Amino acid sequence: MKALVFLVFASPALAAPKIDLLAARPDPAKPEVVLTVTVTKSGGNCDIRLNFGDGKGRILDFGMATTRTLRYAYAKGGNYKVTAQGTGKMPCEGTKETAVKVAGAPAQKKAAEKKAEKKKADKKSASKKDEPK
């Protein structure tokens, strides 16, 4: 009987940490998103696989932490579904998902467009210089 009572009280401590929260905070001017994942620690480490909704993902090892925050930049603007799910040898329990609306193209692409416009303007001014008067 004592062994049964011990198992009943010990089982919550043996349970894997549970995913409590997946939050996304997009930057309205950039394609960057700050993602926060929180787990309830009921003992032990756990791992989570984050899927960003664009075909890419990342594994987070929680170790002794209860919250992990990371930044992720999307290649294109749009609407994405981010999911967090336990994975690996020591998976966290549960699954969470959240929708993310991401701003337009990354800054590098906009810089390339500006460079192309400048090149076009330079070419235009060079052709005006070559015209006979």
Task: Give the pLDDT of residue 131.
Answer: 55
Secondary structure class of 3 (helix, strand, coil): helix
Q: What is the pTM of this model?
A: 0.65
Alpha carbons 129 and 120: distance in angstroms, whole number: 15
Q: What percent of the chain has pLDDT over 70?
A: 67
Q: Domains in the chain, please, with CATH?
A: 2-105 (2.60.40.10)
**66 HSE (CA, 13 A, CB side):** 5
Mean pLDDT over 108-119 rounds to: 63
Task: Give the pLDDT of residue 6.
Answer: 43
Alpha carbons 49 and 9: distance in angstroms, whole number: 30
Q: What does the pLDDT look like over 54-99, one tens digit per residue?
A: 999 999 888 888 888 989 999 988 999 999 999 888 888 989 999 9
